[in-house]
Homo-oligomer: A and B are copies of this chain.
Amino acid sequence: MIKSKVISIGDEILIGQVSNSNAFFISRELYSIGIYVKRIVTIPDREEDLLEELNDSIVNFNVTVITGGLGPTHDDKTKPVLVKFFKDELVEDKKVLEHIKKIFERRNIKIPESNFEQALVPRNSKVIWNNNGTAPGLWFEKEDRIVVALPGVPFEMIAMMKESVLPMILEKFKTKIDYVLKSRSLLTTGISESGLHELIGDIGEFIGDNKLAFLPSPKGVRLRIDVQSKNEASAKEEIKKVESELNKRAGKYIYGTDDDLLEEIVGELLVKKNLTLSAAESCTGGLLSSRITDVSGSSRYYLGGICSYSNDVKMKVLNVKEETIMKYGAVSEQTAKEMANGVRDILKSDIGISITGIAGPTGGTDEKPVGLIWIGYSDENKTFTRKFMLGNIRERNKIRSVQMALEILRKELI
């Protein structure tokens, strides 16, 4: 088993100013190529701390990835500490120097002295090319131990990991990674974590040596299957087995897999059926419309939306009858229905979808509490509504209502 450690350097993480998204990314990427991260540590930009970690790394870990502390200022200690630790020395790298010069030329700025120093690299390390910035990455090898240092700027680090570090690690350890790690997520919505637990029942009956995690979020619960197997084919077979069992037990609530987005799935269905859509929103305030248009190319099927926040707009723009609002209220089955019909009629779309509700945290009554949501659907053959009782956190209620509306669309379209 190849063991790996991630070291993040930076006070901004230690004082809680930014979250450690770099370590999150690196662990996931290493895991995806079969390498377990066994330790993530965040330390200040201080020589003693880094030396201590390097001593631990060289004894206990095959791969150590360091991020941060490679910048041009004297606060940045990673390079000198690595040089000291590996008893190396700094030499100028002509290609890196040219690259740094070009970056400053493009910006039309004179190069500060400190940036010249970034072209100095340890003689016995390999340079990891940084297309997006001035700090080169560094790759050290000592027998079967590898230490990689990357900049802390996320988009520089991410590109370097993908383009260079992961392929280099795979090449180095190809004979030792004699197993495959695979994972697959099934995305559910419209059911709680405990509801899903109950529905799926005893996983012991089918899980074998694999793992299943329940990961709840306002958009729904993600079911993640993790498999370790001897090769690609057997790993796929294992995943397929667990997946089909989960589909049998909870398929009704599964809308997609892995990185699928419900708004994309709905969009693809609309394109396939050659139908257009419009949306009328009250309590979600445009979030449904925004989610639908997050999809590049959504103009092929989405005509637009009306956010009827005031009753006046519901009546004057969406043609909801005054009588309906007076008699049943703005948050009601009847209003949801008329909103869906109204937006379909006015925007001339094949399908109209509507949301009206009480997002909270205030504005509820005994009869209509915070979290009450009505969703309306209208097409040329039918109009219907569905009622939901959500919680009392405004932001979560908006996200969950939009997800429910998209799921209603998906179910109608398949």
Contact = CB atoms under 8 A, between A and B. Distances in A.
Interface string A257-290: 0000000000000000000000101011111111
A347 B313 contact: yes
A31 B16 CA distance: 8
A21 B287 CA distance: 25
Given A286-B289, A310-B299, A394-B294, A19 B19 contact: yes
A289 B296 contact: no
Contacts of A25: 16
A310 B277 CA distance: 11
Q: Interface size bucket, A side?
A: 35 or more
Contacts of A394: 294, 296
Contact of A23 (B17, B20, B37, B288): B20
Interface stretch (A7-15, A63-71, A139-147): A7-15
A236 to B, nearest CB: 19
A184 to B, nearest CB: 12
Given A290-B284, A309-B293, A395-B294, A20 B20 contact: yes
A297 B309 CA distance: 11
A213 B302 CA distance: 42
A12 B309 contact: no
The residue in A17, A285, A312 that gathers the most chain B C-beta atoms within 10 A of its C-beta is A285
A39 B20 CA distance: 13
Contacts of A294: 285, 394-395, 398
Contacts of A289: 285-286, 289-290, 307, 309
A290 B15 contact: no
A43 B61 CA distance: 14
A313 B26 CA distance: 45
A362 interface: yes
A20 B44 contact: no
Nearest to A360: B296
A347 B317 CA distance: 8
B292 A285 contact: yes
A303 B310 contact: yes
Given A290-B398, A304-B306, A304-B307, A42 B44 contact: no
Contact of A306 (B213, B298, B307): B307
A399 B385 CA distance: 32
A61 to B, nearest CB: 13
B14 A19 contact: no
A28 B19 CA distance: 10
Given A298-B309, A302-B309, A290 B290 contact: yes
Nearest to A309: B304
A41 interface: yes
Contacts of A31: 15-16
Given A16-B29, A19-B20, A304-B317, A286 B296 contact: no
A355 to B, nearest CB: 12
Contacts of A17: 28, 213, 215, 224
Given A19-B20, A298-B309, 19 more contacts: A14-B27, A14-B36, A14-B37, A14-B39, A16-B26, A16-B29, A16-B37, A38-B43, A38-B44, A279-B286, A286-B293, A286-B307, A289-B307, A294-B394, A296-B394, A312-B348, A317-B317, A317-B346, A317-B347
24 contacts: A12-B213, A13-B24, A14-B36, A14-B39, A16-B29, A17-B215, A38-B43, A38-B44, A39-B41, A39-B49, A40-B41, A281-B286, A285-B290, A285-B294, A286-B287, A289-B290, A296-B394, A303-B309, A303-B312, A304-B317, A306-B317, A310-B347, A316-B348, A317-B346
Which 9 interchain pairs have the tightest Cβ spacing?
A16-B28, A285-B293, A286-B289, A286-B286, A16-B27, A304-B313, A305-B307, A286-B290, A40-B42
